[in-house]
Amino acid sequence: MNAMTPSHLAYVPFVSVANMMKLVHHIGLERFLIDLSGDIEADFKRWPEFDKVARVASHSPGGVIELMPTADRALYGFKYVNGHPKNTRTGHQTVTAFGVLSDVATGYPVLFTEMTLLTALRTAAMSALVGRYLAPKDADVMALIGNGAQCEFQAFAFRAICGINRLKLFDIDPKASEKAATNLRAHGFDVRICQSAQDAVEGAQIITTCTADKQYATILTDNMVGAGVHVNAIGGDCPGKTELHRDILLRADIFVEYPEQTRVEGEIQQLNEDHPVTELWQVMRGDVPGRRDARQITLFDSVGFATEDFSALRYVKRMVEDTGFAVPLDLLADPDDPRDLFGMLERAKPV
């Protein structure tokens, strides 16, 4: 019997942070991102099969705590995630998360896992997957504006999936850029640290904005985005938080995950509710075109959606089966007689 096949059905496989890191290194980071993007793409192609609802968010002055649920006919998944930009001042992560995958037929969880690392991985995989559909075919330089916890994951995903190895970095905190440059150069990336966002976007065909502060901000002004550019706007999203000047949105073709959520939290909260956007599942299924020509400005207004977490949970469940990367967690009560929960409690009474 291994860690994934406990003798008791009430045990739930649990993937800790330590085991998630072991799993990623066992598979290989870039292979993990490629395979995960494939699962996300497959789930987007069957988009109508999912129950879909905008995430449930509880906002506070310091940040937000969210629940992100979805389900198909066989499995239900949800993620708990927070976003607290000021956390780094006290040595805490801006984002932490965990997730659960359950069997629809019984309601029993079949996986419980950390999702702080997994969210970073699935966000990067989703970005690069969309880049494969929307970025210029000859793209070879990406600007990364905002060099915090998500930065390196984005770089690895775009290299693995889109072949991008040249990076231009900018962050208002020079230490963040130095951190990212050190990490990325160690893995063969061609990296240049820039002194301004304007400098970073010059000559880049892909622009990734990845800032965390929960406020209206203008990271990219209209004059910084020229024809033929793909903008990957992935920074932490909520009502009242933007990164792009409104005029960029008016010039771009905008692609979103779930419009009902993006119009509340994404860049397009700056636009009228009837402003046209394209849903990515339609692009991935081939129902509508992605990038049509070399001069088109494409914008992925990314806010993250529950189906991406569902894909990540499903992928991890598959990858940890018959391995030691999950441990059985005594999470569910399972009395001999399912109607006698009290009897189970009584029998556990200390002698």
Residues with Cβ < 8 Å from 45, sequence gap 6 or more?
Answer: 281, 284, 285
Which DSSP category does 203 fall into?
T
The reply to whether 321 falls in a domain is: yes
N residues, the chain: 351
100/164 same-domain check: no
Inform me whether the pLDDT recorded for 227 exceeds 50: yes
Look at the chain and report how many structural domains it folds into: 2
The reply to whether 342 falls in a domain is: no
3-state SS assignment for residue 208:
strand
147/270 same-domain check: yes
Q: What is the pLDDT of residue 1?
A: 36
Sign of the CA dihedral with 14 first, then 17, 20, and 26 last: negative
Q: What is the pLDDT of residue 214?
A: 58
Position 241 confidence tier, pLDDT thresholds 50, 70, 90: confident
For residue range 305-340, list pLDDT tens digits in order.
999 999 999 999 999 999 999 999 999 998 989 999
* Least confident span in 83-87, 151-155, 167-171, 291-295: 83-87
144/200 same-domain check: yes
163/284 same-domain check: yes
Q: What is the pLDDT of residue 61?
A: 87
The reply to whether 53 falls in a domain is: yes
249/273 same-domain check: yes
Cβ(322)–Cβ(3) below 8 Å: no
Q: What is the CATH number of the domain that holds 325?
A: 3.30.1780.10
75/224 same-domain check: no
Give residue for tokens 């129950």: 51
Which is the catalytic residue, given 39, 43, 171, 237?
Answer: 237
Q: What is the pLDDT of residue 239?
A: 73
Give residue for tokens 């006698």: 340
| Residues 122, 304: Cα–Cα separation, whole Å | 9
Q: What is the pLDDT of residue 188?
A: 98
Burial of 351 (0-12, 13-18, 19+ CB in 10 A): exposed
Q: What is the pLDDT of residue 9?
A: 61
107/146 same-domain check: no
89/179 same-domain check: no
Q: What is the pLDDT of residue 7?
A: 39
25/91 same-domain check: yes
Core vs surface per residue 308-336: b (16+ CB within 10 A) or e: bbbbbbbbbbebbeeeebbbbbeeeeeee
Among the candidates 304, 322, 342, a domain finishes at 304
CA atoms within 13 A on the CB side of 321: 7
Q: Can you spell out the DSSP letters for 60-97? A: ETTEEEEEEEEE-SSEEEEEEEEE-GGGGGGT--S--E
Q: Taking the CB of residue 188, how many other CB atoms lie within 10 A of it?
A: 9
Return the percentage of the chain with pLDDT > 70, whole number: 95
Q: What is the pLDDT of residue 236?
A: 61
Q: What is the CATH number of the domain that holds 213?
A: 3.40.50.720
Inform me whether the pLDDT recorded for 300 exceeds 60: yes
Domain limits at 17? 11-117+307-332
70/171 same-domain check: no
Beta-strand relationship, 327-330 and 278-279:
unpaired
The reply to whether 345 falls in a domain is: no
Per the model's pLDDT, the better-predicted residue between 351 and 262 turns out to be 262
Please give the average per-residue pLDDT across 70-99, as a whole number.
Answer: 94
Residue 134 carries which side chain, given as an amino acid letter?
A: L
Return the percentage of the chain with pLDDT > 90, whole number: 86
Inform me whether the pLDDT recorded for 219 exceeds 80: yes
| Residues 180, 316: Cα–Cα separation, whole Å | 26
Q: Hey, what are 114's tokens?
A: 């950390």
The reply to whether 153 falls in a domain is: yes
For residue 55, the Cα-to-chain-centroid distance in whole angstroms is 14
Q: How far is CA 164 from CA 139, 297, 317, 340, in A?
A: 7, 18, 29, 59
Sign of the CA dihedral with 145 first, then 147, 153, and 155 last: positive
Q: What is the pLDDT of residue 88?
A: 87
| Residues 277, 49: Cα–Cα separation, whole Å | 21
| Residues 254, 134: Cα–Cα separation, whole Å | 10
Q: How far is CA 70 from CA 78, 109, 200, in A?
A: 6, 14, 37
89/214 same-domain check: no
Q: What is the pLDDT of residue 212?
A: 66
| Residues 181, 189: Cα–Cα separation, whole Å | 9
Which among 292, 266, 259, 284 has a CA at the least distance from the CA of 129? 284
Q: What is the pLDDT of residue 5?
A: 41
The reply to whether 275 falls in a domain is: yes
For residue range 10-55, list pLDDT tens digits in order.
799 999 999 999 999 999 999 999 999 999 999 999 999 999 999 9
Please give the average per-residue pLDDT across 77-89, as a whole number.
Answer: 93
Tell me if residue 237 is catalytic: yes
Q: What is the pLDDT of residue 48?
A: 97
The reply to whether 100 falls in a domain is: yes
Which among 19, 48, 59, 44 has a CA at the least distance from the CA of 214? 59
Please give the average per-residue pLDDT across 120-135, as a whole number.
Answer: 98
The reply to whether 76 falls in a domain is: yes
For residue 319, the Cα-to-chain-centroid distance in whole angstroms is 19
Please give the average per-residue pLDDT across 231-242, as a whole number.
Answer: 79
62/23 same-domain check: yes
Position 165 confidence tier, pLDDT thresholds 50, 70, 90: very high
Position 3 confidence tier, pLDDT thresholds 50, 70, 90: very low
